[in-house]
């Protein structure tokens, strides 16, 4: 193998040496604060710890599931009890 080609391949796929600057990336504190909020032992399940938006989404999903179940039961009962000749009216 050509040594120059091997060196080019090595440079292309090797990210090289990185220096540590000592200061964290700009979003580091935001992520740390969010992690602290989610690891607090406040009795809430993790899927409700983000606040009212999570609570709205969680309860909205349950409402949609219950409404779809009721609608499905109504359709099954109505279709099962409907006389075929009555459906033409």
Residues 6+ positions from 46 with CB-CB distance below 8 Å: 38
Asked if the structure places residue 27 within a domain, the reply is no
Stated pTM of the model: 0.53
Asked if the structure places residue 25 within a domain, the reply is no
Enclosing domain of residue 70? 46-83
Contact 48, 54 (CB under 8 A): yes
Question: pLDDT at position 18, please?
Answer: 64
Spatial separation of the C-alpha atoms in residues 57 and 54, rounded to whole Å: 5
Asked if the structure places residue 31 within a domain, the reply is no
| pLDDT tens per residue across span 37-72 | 889 998 888 888 888 999 999 999 999 999 999 999
Whether 35 shows a pLDDT value over 80: the answer reads: yes
Asked if the structure places residue 61 within a domain, the reply is yes
Whether 87 shows a pLDDT value over 70: the answer reads: no
Question: pLDDT at position 65, please?
Answer: 98
Asked if the structure places residue 13 within a domain, the reply is no
Asked if the structure places residue 10 within a domain, the reply is no
Asked if the structure places residue 77 within a domain, the reply is yes
User: Once rounded to an integer, what is the mean pLDDT over residues 21-32?
Assistant: 80
Helices (H) and strands (E) in the chain, counts: 3, 0
Contact 55, 48 (CB under 8 A): yes
């Amino acid at each position: 193998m050509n040594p120059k080609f091997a060196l080019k391949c090595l440079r292309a796929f090797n990210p090289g040496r990185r220096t540590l600057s000592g200061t964290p990336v700009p979003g580091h504190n935001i992520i740390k604060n969010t992690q602290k909020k989610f690891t607090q032992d406040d009795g809430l399940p993790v899927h409700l710890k983000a606040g009212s938006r999570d609570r709205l989404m969680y309860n909205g999903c349950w409402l949609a599931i219950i409404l779809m179940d009721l609608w499905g039961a109504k359709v099954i009962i109505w279709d099962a009890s409907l006389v075929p000749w009555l459906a033409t009216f």
